[in-house]
Amino acid sequence: MKPHFNDNYRGMRCRVYMVRDGDDEEEISLLNADEVYALVKDELSIADREIMLTVLLTTKNQLIGIETVAIGSLNSTSLVPREIFKGAILANAASIVLCHNHPSGGLTPSPEDIKLTEEMIQAGKLLGIKLMDHLVVSSKGFSTLRDYMTFKPI
């Protein structure tokens, strides 16, 4: 006898828990790229491989959290919009800032960095989550893709 469709997934459930911890903590507002850099530099500037972080923000640019969305190799990482925006959707973020490092020390965004940023701007528009900026971080400091592209600053 062929199993009924409902028998195939019985007991399999996916649960999403939305819990806000630390409501008593002071809110952190991020108003410009320098403030975002100060938040992520310790992690990204010393890493020996590429790491992509997503900084999750409220409608008032207050920090919700920071998520590591990918850890790659010495000079690349593989990313898709689903992975970048997953945490933002679950956290009910209004906007995000992408931050990744260049372990080589260079601060100039690669053509791939620019292409990824353009794709994430479009994906964010579809999802209603604005990409506020994309920082490239190294041991020498940071650069913002705003200097290489046209989109409004935070």
Is the pLDDT at 35 greater than 50? The verdict is yes
Amino acid at 16: V
Task: Return the structure tokens found at 141.
Answer: 């400091």
Cα gap 55→53, rounded to integer Å: 6
Class of the CATH-defined domain 24-147: alpha beta
Share of the chain above pLDDT 90, in %: 67
pLDDT of residue 153: 43
Which residues have C-beta within 8 Å of that of residue 33, sequence separation ≥ 6? 133, 135, 142, 144, 146, 153, 154
Is the pLDDT at 4 greater than 70? The verdict is no
> Pairing mode, if any, of strands 63-71 and 51-57?
antiparallel
- φ/ψ region of 11 (left if φ > 0, alpha if ψ in -120 to 50, else beta) reads left
